[in-house]
Structure 1
Amino acid sequence: MSIDAKGIALSLFLVLAAAPALSESNAEKAVAQREKLREARLAISRGDTVELNRLKRELQGYPLLPYLDYWAIVRKIDSLPYTEIDRFLGEHQDTAIGDWLRVRVLRELGSRKRFRAYLKYYKPEKITRTSLRCYYADAVARHGDRDEAYRLVEELWMVGRSQAEECDPVFARWIKDGGLTPELAWGRHLLAVESGNLDLARYIAGKMPPEQAQLARLLREVHRHPAQLTNYTHFIDKRPEYRQIVLHGLERLAREDAAVADSAWQRYEASYLFADAERDQLLRELALQFARQDDIDGLRRFFERTEEFTDARTIGWLARQSMRELDWAQVEFWIDRLPPEEQLLDVWLYWKARSLEEQYGKGRADEAVQLYRQAAEERSYYGFLSADILGQNYKFIDRPAPVTPDLVAEMAARPGMLRARELQAIGELYHARREWDYATEGMEHRELLTAGKVASAWGWYHKSIRSVLAADYLDDLELRFPLAFADIVTDVSNRMAQKTALDPYLIYAVARQESHFAHDAKSGAGALGLMQLLPSTARATARKAGVEYRRSWDLLTPKTNIALGSFYLRTLLNRFDNNRILAAAAYNAGPTRVAGWLKETGKKLPYDVWIETIPYHETRKYVQNVLAYSVIYAYRSGSVKPLLRDNEATSKL
């Protein structure tokens, strides 16, 4: 972590509106302590130990005092001050910051090949990074039990990707000492081919004896050209490698032509003894590929021949394909093939009832009503849909977590919690999250609920949400669906909601779905903040919205992010005729893609079928959650809102 003046200024900027509030009596003291912390960090950057020690004395009792020692040691880690390191680790055993320093020390020692010292600091139960585990295996191989080292090397070896370069030296020594057996070489070669990493596979094959290398070459050829499996006599062989080649090739062939792969599978099934797991995996792939290739006749024959095959994911996919065709008899057929426990889920209760209504009208109305009633007991998208059909109130099931104020106070006073809170307050959000995660790791049910209450009181909403989810307690709606940044949301919705379906409940729902209200959230695609906006989208939106926006990290400010996200959401509502279904889908998958889906369906599908058959699973769940969360946020705000507006409920998409 950089501790230069520019970095400090940026960290302080990121305190933002989400920083936890202190009582008025403690606010002045906190401001003074944070200023002294800032001065101490600058002293570290200058190497001014006299000033640093003076400030440390004045900061006695401050939760982040240990961080000054940590930052000071890290700054001179290249000189490996062992005395200071040992003292720090001794004083901060089993703390987040102690473990972080240990990792920094191990990286430094490993890169310098100082392996005797490495063994002193390495603790297997605390280290998960592959590079550090490889350094450890190398250290043990050199200065400890070589058999133990090579057992670890075997674990590190058996992956289908290239490992960190830190593994190369110990791998080379292990191979030189005869550790690479034909079984291990074949196993990793197979994993690499299955992962599509053919360069790695060829590298491994180069270390095989000639006969095995020939089999490895055959596997790679089948990977590239699986149709050669139809030459059955060429692949009937008792060696186990052939069975694995056939299985991998059949999965690849199924993606090209499911019917040909299925025919080949029947021949090979009669010739090889496949494990149940191998068989199930291949059948799953065959069923999905039949469906994707629209080979309905082949699919029927497949299921007639494999009546015992009841993979829920595959059958669910087939049921949705039937919905897309409005083939309600097939929808019922597939739902009835699901495992019994799956049929009791709200999603399939709803769709079984829908299929009965569409096929039989009043003929099986009583059965459909009973299914709707079961689904309507759930606080969910399908539960709300079912309740609307029945004309009954939604079931919110709102039960506060059974946590006392004394438990909350005790939890908030724990050292790790105090450090997390103060780190958040000064804008050190990465370290704050890690302190929190470390403090809550391994907590029992009641402790997690208590931690959720603490996080909520501090305005750390994403942690309160995740704590109750980790505790598997889903009925405390105050914790699961906080009215976060309420002043900002209300102001924005009042200014932007004219003539659109944009209301505070929709804004809450999108932010809840996008980030769990983590104002500093960053996605792998580069989206930022509460409503997860791409900087490019933010720039274009800011010009139209008249919102000040200069650089991407402005999106980490809740006020800016909510204003831009809400305005963008409003543009999507305008584009899609004020239909929140389509606007939510476009917010997640992009408006161009949604327009393409509407073109494909010809606007002939009922709204619920269109949602259920959205091609992307992520977008389907996104739309369902946003609609359901909007209802819950209305309830949390003391209002009653339907799942769907009239224009949405009557739309064909």
Structure 2
Amino acid sequence: MPTLAIIQAAQQQVEIKMNLDRSLRNLSVQWKGLLLPIMVLTAMVFAPAHADAEAPVSTISPATNHASPNVITDWTPPPAFLAGMAAIAQGDSAAVNAAIAALKDNPLATYLRFRFLLDSPTSDTAPVIAFLQKHPDYVFSAQLKSQTLNSLIRQQQFADYQRLLSVAPELKSNRRLSCQGWQAALELGTLTAQQVKDAEQFWAQGRNQQSYCDPIFKWLQAHDKLTPNLYRQRIKASMIAGNPSFASYLVRAGTSRKISGLDAYFK
């Protein structure tokens, strides 16, 4: 069946009939209603290369001037996919692998592998790296990489963190990723002068930072990197951002470190 026809059939069932079997309904509830949209998106993005027919197109009736889509409505997810989703919920890796093998080149097989890696995190990053190397452009690869990086930091697997970070896809820079990267470099003894400078400027922003930045900030303080100028810069930024209470806290913190003149912005 052409991929577009599969998508149309799924949409028809979800939006109009809502009559999938009991297994699919239970799984849809368990995965917070995201199962079918994910299936549809996966099939749409990763269509089989050997699709050899064009999908039906909408037609306009001259008499009614209304669109009458020509869609197939008898499609249901392959039993192997449903079995694989149930196996993921139970943590049964053997059954998941069997379901993936049964699906062969169906794009839903890729989704099952992704979902199993996402929902069954382990200390072994090799399967995740192998998946990302094989599917760097997969629609959910960035999510898998990001969640695995968070897990590695929590488990203090800093070498594995850096190894995974270097694998495609490249993640969009954000506060968490920056602070985690500095922490990993700090723990592995690879923190560079540029990273220290970047962390200092990050600390000097006019807002309270999240706890995942605490490791690098504590290191900066312990190594006298938080200079009077950085305190003044952060206090000024806090006042400009309309956060005087945080600025007041910084004044007290700086004064306790014998930095004088920090209350100038309150006069």
TM-score range relative to shorter protein: 0.5 to 0.7
8 Å CA contact retained: 2:153, 2:180: yes
Q: State the SS of the aligned residue for 1:196.
A: coil
SS of 1:179's equivalent in the other structure is: coil
Instruction: Give 2:176's aligned residue.
Output: 131
- Structure 1 pair 108/168, CA: closer, same or farther in 2 (3 Å)? same
Aligned to 1:140: 185
Asked if 1:76 is matched to 2:125, the reply is no
Q: Give yes or no for the alignment of 1:112 onto 2:155.
A: yes
Match among 217, 221, 235 for residue 189 of structure 1: 235
1:639 matched residue in structure 2: none
Cα drift, residue 166 of structure 1? 0.7
Q: Pick closer, same or farther for the CA change 1:53–1:114 going to 2, 3 Å.
A: closer
Paired residue for 2:204, among 148, 158, 161? 158
User: 1:126 aligns to what SS in structure 2?
Assistant: coil
Partner of 1:173: 219
Does the 8 Å CA contact 1:40/1:52 hold for their aligned counterparts? Answer: yes
| CA–CA distance in structure 1, aligned partners of residues 206 and 96 of structure 2 | 49
Distance 1:112 1:92, change over 3 A: same
Normalised TM-score (structure 2):
0.66
Secondary structure of the 1:64 match is helix
Cα deviation for residue 182 of structure 1 reads: 2.0
CA RMSD of aligned residues (A): 3.3
Question: How has the CA–CA distance of structure 1 residues 75 and 174 changed in structure 2, closer, same or farther, with 3 Å as cutoff?
Answer: same
Over the matched positions of the two proteins, sequence identity in percent amounts to 20
Structure 1 residues 206 and 147, CA gap change in structure 2 (3 angstroms) = farther
**C-alpha displacement at 1:163, in angstroms?**
1.0
Query: How far apart, CA to CA, are the structure 1 residues paired with 2:94 and 2:126?
Result: 19
CA deviations 1:307-332 (Å, max 9, x no partner) are xxxxxxxxxxxxxxxxxxxxxxxxxx
Are 1:66 and 2:89 counterparts?
A: no
Q: Is the 8 A contact 1:127 1:133 kept in 2?
A: no
Distance across 1 between alignment mates of 2:100 and 2:257: 68
Cα contact 2:180–2:212 (8 A) shared by 1: yes
Paired position in structure 1 for 2:133: 90
- Give the paired residue count: 212
Runs of 4+ in structure 1 displaced over 4 angstroms?
Answer: 12-15, 24-30, 209-214
Check the 8 A contact 2:251/2:262 in 1, yes or no.
yes
**Within 2, Cα distance between the matches of 1:161 and 1:182?**
17
Change (3 A) 1:210 1:47: closer
CA contact (8 A) 1:5 1:42 kept: no
Q: Counterpart of 1:371?
A: none
CA distance in 2, matches of 1:68, 1:194: 49
Partner in structure 2 of residue 201 of structure 1: 247
1:80 aligned counterpart, secondary structure: coil
| Change over 3 Å in CA distance of 1:66–1:155 after alignment to 2 | farther
Aligned residue among 73, 94, 98 for 1:54: 98
2:16 equivalent in structure 1: none
In structure 2, the residue matched to 1:215 is: 261
Mark the CA change 1:5 to 1:196 in structure 2 (over 3 Å): closer, same or farther. Answer: same
1:39 aligns with 2:83: yes
Contact 1:162 1:200 in 2 (8 A): yes
Q: CA deviation at 1:4?
A: 5.2
Distance 1:123 1:188, change over 3 A: farther
> Contact 1:159–1:192 at 8 Å: present in 2 too?
yes
Report the AA paired with residue 75 of structure 1.
D
Q: CA deviation at 1:140?
A: 1.2
**Matching of residues 311-460 of structure 1 within 5 Å:** none
State the distance in 2 between where 1:205 and 1:87 align. 49
Cα separation, 1, equivalents of 2:250 and 2:118: 39
Indicate the SS of the match to 1:10: coil
Q: Once the 2 structures are TM-superposed, how far is the Cα of residue 5 of structure 1 from its aligned partner? A: 5.7
Question: Shift of the alpha carbon at 1:118?
Answer: 1.5
Residue 100 (structure 1) shift: 1.5
Cα distance in 2 for partners of 1:96, 1:54 equals: 23
**Equivalent residue in structure 2 for 1:121, among 156, 164, 171:** 164
Higher relative contact order, chain-length normalized (CA < 8 Å, sep 6+): 2
Aligned in 2, Cα 1:117/1:152: closer, same or farther, shift over 3 Å? farther
Q: Give 1:10's aligned amino acid.
A: G
Counterparts of 1:137 and 1:127, CA distance in 2: 16
Match of 1:103 in 2: 146
C-alpha change, 1:161 and 1:123, in structure 2 (3 Å) is farther
Measured in 2, the distance between the counterparts of 1:210 and 1:32 equals 64
The question of whether the paired residues in 1 share the 8 Å contact of 2:56 and 2:71 is answered with yes
Counterparts in 2 of 1:135 and 1:11: CA distance versus 1, 3 Å: closer
TM-score normalised per structure 1: 0.29
**Contact 1:137–1:152 at 8 Å: present in 2 too?**
no
C-alpha distance in 2 between matches for 1:37 and 1:64: 7
Q: CA deviation at 1:133?
A: 1.4
Whole-angstrom CA distance in 1 between matches of 2:37 and 2:163: 38
- CA–CA distance in 1 between the matches of 2:236 and 2:211? 21
Q: Rate the CA distance shift 1:205–1:126 in 2: closer, same or farther, 3 A.
A: same
| 8 Å Cα contact 1:140-1:148 kept in structure 2 | no
Q: 1:209 to 1:47 in 2, by over 3 A?
A: closer
1: CA distance, partners of 2:142 / 2:158: 19
**Structure of greater Rg:** 1
Paired residue secondary structure (1:159): coil
